[in-house]
Amino acid sequence: MTHQGLIVATYQVLKDALGHFGRDDGFAMASHVALSALLAVFPLLIFIAALAGFFGLDGAADSVSKIVFEAWPQRVAEPLSGEINRVLTQRRPDLITFGVVAAIWFASNGVEALRTALNRAYRQRETRSLIYLRLQSLGLVVLGAIILIAYTFLVVLAPLGLAALKVYLPGLEEFLLSIDIIRFGVAGSLLLLGLVATHWLLPAGHRRIVDLLPGVAATMVLWMIAGASFGAYLASFANYVTTYGGLAGIMSAIVFLYICSAAFILGGELNAALYRVRAMRKQAKRAA
């Protein structure tokens, strides 16, 4: 493909993705995903607290919440992390029984919101059983909780062991540094794998994993830009306190999640647009 042809193809793909995002109420879906994600955070962490307590890993949920909010702008993360910490430090005897079931169920509503958004982005109509879909959502919540606990071990607990080894084996410092880099690389890849799994499992239809990578990469880049830009905006210009008073922290979190949700949906729209272009080219070759 020539340089000019590449520019034309890129323009067509972006026009298709952005046009479908606008026509299919992408901004409204982003609001739905953002609110559902915010409502799912507390039940998910409560369930993680119960699961970690079952395995004897006290404090893991608090560590997970710190890790989850570490990538958020500070002024967005502080109000939520403070409230979550207060929730997790309370004694919760109900976690052993109904509380765990309720927490998983409400957390799975966030998964269903992602599914609805991706079905629209990929131009898919859901035909699978509602029971199957809900069981899949519940299973993904449990799996996600286990992965986050493992993430906590990689990022929070492993440095303690590495520090001890550095004391007793100082000559292995460079080697341990390489292990440290690998550890953070593995932890960071969890986000990438989570996005790929979300695009692959949740929406209806069948897609190859390789076809999902452009949208996943675009989402991650947009998330990094959104985090840096929104953080700078809050620090320099925005004053939510004068507008929302005591709700300023939660409103800034909702706006940030709204931006991130729009980027997530745009990733699906980009994949769908690329798939449509490839299908049109195959059809043209067959006609020729």
Confidence band for 94, pLDDT divided at 50, 70 and 90: low
User: What tens digit of pLDDT does each residue of 168-226 get?
Assistant: 666 655 655 555 555 556 556 777 888 999 999 999 988 899 999 999 999 999 988 88
Identify the weakest region by mean pLDDT among 110-114, 197-201, 278-282, 284-288: 284-288
Tell me what the mean pLDDT of segment 238-255 comes to. 70
User: What tens digit of pLDDT does each residue of 25-62 get?
Assistant: 889 999 999 989 888 887 877 777 777 766 666 666 66
User: What tens digit of pLDDT does each residue of 125-152 get?
Assistant: 999 999 999 999 999 988 888 777 777 6
Tell me what the mean pLDDT of segment 79-108 comes to. 68
The domain segmentation of the chain, as residue ranges, is: 3-287
pLDDT at 115: 94
Structure tokens at 94: 């109900």
pLDDT at 134: 93
Q: How many Å apart are CA 168 and CA 263, to the nearest integer?
A: 47
More confident residue, 174 or 114: 114
User: What tens digit of pLDDT does each residue of 1-20 get?
Assistant: 566 767 777 888 888 888 98
Tell me what the mean pLDDT of segment 237-246 comes to. 62
Q: What is this structure's pTM?
A: 0.80
Count CB-CB contacts under 10 A for residue 121. 27
